[in-house]
Amino acid sequence: MNSSHFWKYFGPGLLFAGAAIGVSHLVQSTRAGAMAGLALSGVIVLALVLKYPFFDFAPRYTAATGLSLIEGYRRIGRWALWLYVVLTTFSSVIVQAAVVLFTSYLIQFVFGLTLSLSIMGGLLCATCGLLLWIGRFQILDKSIKVILFLLACSTLAAAVATVPQVDFSTFGLWIFDGAELIVPLAFLLALVGWMPAPIDLSVWSSLWTMAKDRASGVKTDVATARLDFQIGYFGTGILAFAFVIIGAGVMHSTGEAFSAQGTVFSTQLIELYSVALGEWIRPIVIVAVLTTMLSTSLTVIDGFPRALDHAIRSLRFPDRQDQQQGQIGSLYWIILVVLAMVTVLVLELFIGNMTAMIDFATIMSFLTAPILGYLNLRAVCSNDVLPEHQPGRAMRILSYSGLLFMGGIAITYLVWQL
């Protein structure tokens, strides 16, 4: 592999990381550390391993065929693409509202603002939309590299500073205390649902791969696309454990618990680090927290409209060249604006607690994961992909194991709720 070719192509994997390292890490991973110390480490590793194939299939399929996963779904059957559109339309409202909600709380706290949630959320959506309008994919690609550099440096620095406070005796791979779970089942599903990201993100990843090809003028090969993705994926895993360590050291060791209220949660997240580790850590934590959620907000506000735009146009005009080359249409901007307006409306009507809303969004992602994972597997194993680019026996076994695990737990949860 030519190194200059790789660095010219490098980027879609970082966009994946930017979208993934948000609520799943900052909220759920930190809560996992706060609630159970290092006891949920095995759950996080299991989620990272079992969900890996379904994310890997996205750049693999796109690099091998020159098409997005959305086109792969359509070739399975229109029912598959319609199913994706329905699931994504539903999840887009919940997920974007949850991400913008938490980011708005953080911005208000850090800058001492007193704006209402709906106004703050509207300004955030408008700012991200303006950045995307001015720079299109290029601004997304370049800005996320800067944001993730700051994020990685600040988060790892905070984690290293926290290590002396961590009780490593809590580390374990078993999540039962006798016959009882060490944390509620709902939280386990919420943790796994977005660890490191919802399966929906695989479609975004394939679309970003196509957009990068168009922006760079270089058609990437399968090996390069997968390496780029793996760098982003394993980076999300490292940072997930960094946030677990921070939660375990700052919260679990002191017996503190996170509040369900967004304003209090934001205050705790930053202030407790300063109390436990010293005021010097405060600027580092602020940079880590803000860059985490800004990267997620920017990629989410781009990702859902990009995916729905391509899906709807693929249903209406399956043979259009711009559709197959990854170009966005005017529908992208319409969906972006509509989703922003719906998000503002949700924030205006929001009266519940923040962590409950986030848990609901992440649990819904877990419940839909087996369906989207199955579609990804069907697409990458289809005749569209040359045999040498299809997953091998070990990867297929891992895929089926992931589907059985996620499907089994999802059914168990639904039965438990009845």
Model confidence pLDDT, tens digit, residues 127-165? 999 888 886 666 666 777 777 777 788 788 888 888 888
70 and 202 in contact (C-beta within 8 Å)?
no
CATH code for the domain in which residue 373 is found? 1.20.1740.10
How far apart CA 181 and CA 367 sit, in angstroms, is 20
Ranked by mean pLDDT, the top range of 119-128, 135-144, 185-194 is: 119-128
What is the rounded distance in angstroms from the CA atom of residue 301 to the CA atom of residue 125?
7
**Is 201 in contact with 14 (CB distance < 8 Å)?**
no
What is the number of structural domains in the chain?
1
Helix (H, G, I), strand (E, B) or coil at 180: strand
Q: Tell me which of 215 and 204 has the higher pLDDT.
A: 204
Give the span between the Cα atoms of 263 and 393, in whole angstroms.
49
| Placement of tokens 């693409």 in the chain | 81
Residue 388 has pLDDT above 90, yes or no: yes
When pLDDT is averaged across residues 264-291 and rounded to a whole number, the result is 75
* Residue 50 backbone zone (phi > 0: left; psi -120 to 50: alpha; other: beta): alpha
53 cis-preceded (ω within 30 degrees of 0): no
What is the token pair recorded at 240? 């997930």
236 C-beta neighbours (distance < 10 Å), count? 22
* pLDDT at 12 > cutoff 70: yes
Which residues constitute the domain of residue 231?
Answer: 3-417
Instruction: Tell me the average pLDDT of the chain.
Output: 83
Q: What is the pTM of this model?
A: 0.86
Distance CA 80, CA 378 (A): 10
Which secondary-structure segment (H or E) carries 177?
A: strand 176-177
Work out the pLDDT band at 245, boundaries 50, 70, 90. very high
**Rounded distance between C-alpha atoms, residue 314 and residue 25, angstroms:** 33
pLDDT of 86 above 80: yes
pLDDT of 370 = 92
Residues of the chain with pLDDT > 90: what percent? 30
What is the rounded CA–CA span in Å between residue 23 and residue 355?
Answer: 10
